């Protein structure tokens, strides 16, 4: 098998300081305040937090591989390790079949972080092209590559205007273009499209697909966009609190729900006790696994995946009315990857009818 990246038993811990407890004196003038801060900093202990636990995965050459997981689940840490930017605490990484020290990983990978703050490093009186050219010189990148990445990110149209005149979306694209100057067989993307407009995002994804399928580049992409993930990736790993909870093709993952439909029901609580029932899911006493989402003020959405749609729907309607809710809206649809993802992340067991 043509494995490009193989990760085996990877762990990562960070050493940080425990929050400690501040001691407050009644009379909080400058000297006592000073003493309390010293006391506090002495009491704080070094603690290890485990951010990645026993990560094992393999990615094929030319594969579009997605990493999904909530904030803080370890996506960025995993990508940064693969990029050779941070050392793993334990574990093996093989690239093209050869065990590779983390310090050497940068040679095979190009790490593209999301550009949340755009344009900090750029000279604002120069154009996008000139800024990219400065960076390209620094890293010995050939001239043609600048044109290529400008096309890839749709910058060519405004590439000769001063960067100072760009909108935040244009700056975000320029940041990603700069990261793309480096040409490597493995591309690691960390929520790269923040700030992109939908049509630019679509084109960017189209292009990624092309370079994976035509140029054989391996793409490992961390994202929150479940809807996009369902159709884009060949395979997906779902991370939860530093552990992989599932890996598979989107279709496979969806089928693991084992249900034929998902009911979404938007409800409005008539009184405060109804809201208490929502906060403590056990009080709602639905005998189906479900996910609650807040939709805005006084509006919540329940999602229930099930096999016997009509029967579950009737039960659901009578339960929520009994519990003090008004029903605003009901949708019955096919289960999606998002339904499966939420069932894993929210910790509700899979439906067994
Ligand atoms: N340099 C660091 N020192 C201490 N903790 C860190 C550091 N970087 C990340 N973390 C912690 O590691 C966890 C995972 O973070 P991250 O990999 O950024 O997750 P994600 O990208 O999935 O949101 C978080 O709890 C975060 O606070
Ligand atoms: Mg992240």
**Sequential DSSP letters for 177-240:** HHHHTS--SEEEEESTTTT--HHHHHHHHHHHHHHHHTT--EEEEEES-HHHHHHH-SEEEEEE
Ramachandran bin of 196, using left for φ above 0, alpha for ψ from -120 to 50, beta for the remaining angles: beta
114 lines ligand 1 (CB under 6 A): no
Number of the ligand closest to the Cα of 242 = 1
Average pLDDT over residues 266-273: 88
Nearest residue to 242 via CA among 57, 69, 46: 69
- Residue 51 CA, ligand 1 centroid: distance in Å: 7
Residue 352 is predicted with a pLDDT of 33
Average pLDDT over residues 189-193: 91
**Does position 137 have pLDDT exceeding 60, yes or no?**
yes
- Residue 97 CA, ligand 1 centroid: distance in Å: 29
Closest atom of ligand 1 to CA, residue 69: 22
Residue 53 is predicted with a pLDDT of 97
**Domain parsing of the chain, residue ranges:** 61-254, 256-345
Lowest mean pLDDT across 3-12, 31-40, 66-75, 310-319: 31-40
Number of the ligand closest to the Cα of 80 = 1
Average pLDDT over residues 301-305: 87
Lowest mean pLDDT across 35-44, 122-131, 222-231: 35-44
Nearest Cα residue to atom 25 of ligand 1: 72
**Does position 353 have pLDDT exceeding 90, yes or no?**
no
Closest atom of ligand 1 to CA, residue 78: 17
Lowest mean pLDDT across 47-51, 165-169, 221-225: 165-169
**Does position 351 have pLDDT exceeding 70, yes or no?**
no
- Residue 291 CA, ligand 1 centroid: distance in Å: 26
The larger pLDDT score, comparing residue 149 to residue 346, is at 149
Average pLDDT over residues 230-258: 94
**Does position 67 have pLDDT exceeding 70, yes or no?**
yes
Nearest residue to 313 via CA among 271, 260, 269, 270: 260
- Residue 73 CA, ligand 2 centroid: distance in Å: 8
257 lines ligand 1 (CB under 6 A): no
Nearest Cα residue to atom 13 of ligand 1: 72
Of the chain, the percentage scoring pLDDT greater than 70 comes to: 91
Residue 288 is predicted with a pLDDT of 66
Of the chain, the percentage scoring pLDDT greater than 90 comes to: 48
CATH of domain 61-254: 3.40.50.300
Tokens of 140: 């010995």
73 lines ligand 1 (CB under 6 A): yes
The larger pLDDT score, comparing residue 326 to residue 197, is at 326
Residue 348 is predicted with a pLDDT of 45
Nearest Cα residue to atom 4 of ligand 1: 14
**Does position 74 have pLDDT exceeding 60, yes or no?**
yes
User: Distance between CA 337 and CA 231 in Å, rounded?
Assistant: 10
CATH entry 3.30.70.120 includes domain 256-345: yes
Average pLDDT over residues 134-153: 90
77 lines ligand 1 (CB under 6 A): yes
For residue range 78-87, list pLDDT tens digits in order: 999 999 999 9
């Amino acid at each position: 098998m043509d494995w490009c990246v193989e990760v085996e038993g990877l762990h990562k811990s960070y050493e940080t300081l425990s929050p400690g407890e501040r001691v407050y004196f009644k009379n909080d003038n400058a000297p006592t305040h000073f003493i309390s801060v010293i006391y506090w900093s002495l009491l704080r202990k070094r603690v290890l937090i485990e951010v990645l636990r026993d990560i094992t995965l393999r990615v094929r050459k030319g594969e579009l591989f997605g990493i999904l997981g909530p904030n803080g689940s370890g996506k960025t840490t995993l990508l940064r390790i693969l990029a050779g930017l941070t050392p793993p605490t334990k574990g093996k990484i093989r690239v093209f079949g050869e065990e590779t020290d983390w310090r050497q990983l940068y040679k095979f990978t190009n790490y593209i972080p999301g550009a949340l703050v755009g344009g900090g490093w750029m000279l604002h009186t120069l154009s996008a092209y000139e800024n990219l050219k400065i960076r390209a010189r620094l890293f010995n990148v050939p001239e043609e590559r600048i044109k290529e990445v400008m096309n890839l990110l749709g910058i060519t149209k405004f590439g000769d205007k001063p960067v100072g005149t760009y909108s935040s979306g244009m700056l975000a694209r320029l940041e990603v273009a700069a990261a793309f100057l480096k040409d490597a067989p493995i591309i690691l993307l960390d929520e790269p499209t923040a700030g992109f407009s939908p049509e630019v995002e679509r084109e960017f994804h189209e292009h990624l697909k092309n370079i994976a399928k035509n140029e054989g580049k391996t793409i490992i992409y961390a994202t929150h966009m479940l809807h996009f993930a369902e159709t884009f990736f060949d395979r997906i790993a779902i991370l939860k609190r530093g552990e992989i909870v599932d890996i598979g093709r989107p279709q496979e993952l969806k089928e693991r729900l084992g249900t034929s439909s998902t009911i979404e029901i938007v409800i409005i609580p008539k009184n405060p006790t109804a809201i208490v029932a929502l906060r403590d899911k056990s009080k709602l006493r639905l005998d189906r696994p479900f996910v609650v989402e807040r939709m805005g003020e006084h509006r919540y959405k329940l999602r229930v995946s099930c096999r016997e749609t009509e029967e579950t729907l009737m039960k659901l309607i009578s339960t929520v009315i009994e519990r003090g809710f008004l029903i605003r809206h009901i949708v019955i649809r096919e289960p999606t990857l998002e339904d499966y993802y939420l069932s894993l992340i929210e910790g509700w067991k899979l439906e067994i009818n």
